[in-house]
Amino acid sequence: MTRIESEALVVRVVEVGESDVIATLLTEGAGKMGVLARGARKGLRRIGGALEPFHTIAVLVESKGGDLSTLKEAQIVRMRSALASNLDALEAAGMALRWARHLFQPATPEPQGWRILVGLLDRLDDEPPDSLHGASPKAELARAGLAMLAAMGYGLEVSCCVVCGRICPEHKPACFDAARGGLVCRACGGARSVLVADVRHAIRRLATAGAADATLALSADDAHAVLGLLDVAMAAHAGFEP
């Protein structure tokens, strides 16, 4: 029996029987794991209402090495109640957790990916609605999504062909293949998807922006386009339906 103590985020909860739940956790120290929380729906003090999304929780887990461990204790250590009052921030946080649930691998710590995810949730919660240093929640999500892909080894190349390295002219659209990780010029076979120059420029700005960078102020159309591309890229690498 191995005891694991870590901070965690809840990314999925499924009710089992009359009082139990099976939760999927992203933990800081032990990666993604499935846990059985016996009696969680009875409001037990050792777990209480801790199994809620968006809050950072501290967990004590007992594992025998199988696919499902046992959650012994859980308590909220960073509540993000303000996030729930902003519908755009709530939607952005939900998509980020969805991406992470599929992208993070079981029992594999992802410290950089964890920091990116927690940092995004903190920014969505800390700032007043529509503030975020001039950036919309969608722009914050786009920046974090690009950083998360890069942290997992799937960074997107939008300046040159990933096959031959040929630079794409700044003002021209380019073929994009999410599974191959970026642009593919026509000489190397091209791709079905096409990125216009403005979207490629937006991705580059986001990839190099700091948390309080004014370059996060994307137009609504650019933010929508980048998020759609990120969803396809996440799905290509993690194997889920975009």
For the domain that residue 56 is a member of, what is the CATH number? 2.40.50.140
Examine the domain organization and report whether 73 and 111 are in the same domain: no
DSSP character for 105? P
Examine the domain organization and report whether 152 and 222 are in the same domain: yes
Examine the domain organization and report whether 167 and 133 are in the same domain: yes
The three-state secondary structure class of 184 is coil
Residue 62, strand partner residues: 3, 70
Final residue belonging to a domain, choices 22, 45, 78: 78
pLDDT reported for residue 1:
81
Examine the domain organization and report whether 154 and 72 are in the same domain: no
Cβ neighbourhood burial of 16 (10 Å; 0-12, 13-18, 19+) = middle
pLDDT tens digits for 196-230? Answer: 999 999 898 888 876 555 446 677 788 889 999 99
What residue numbers bound the domain in which 186 lies? 82-238
Examine the domain organization and report whether 125 and 164 are in the same domain: yes
pLDDT average, residue stretch 160-177? 96
Instruction: Give how many domains the chain has, as a whole number.
Output: 2
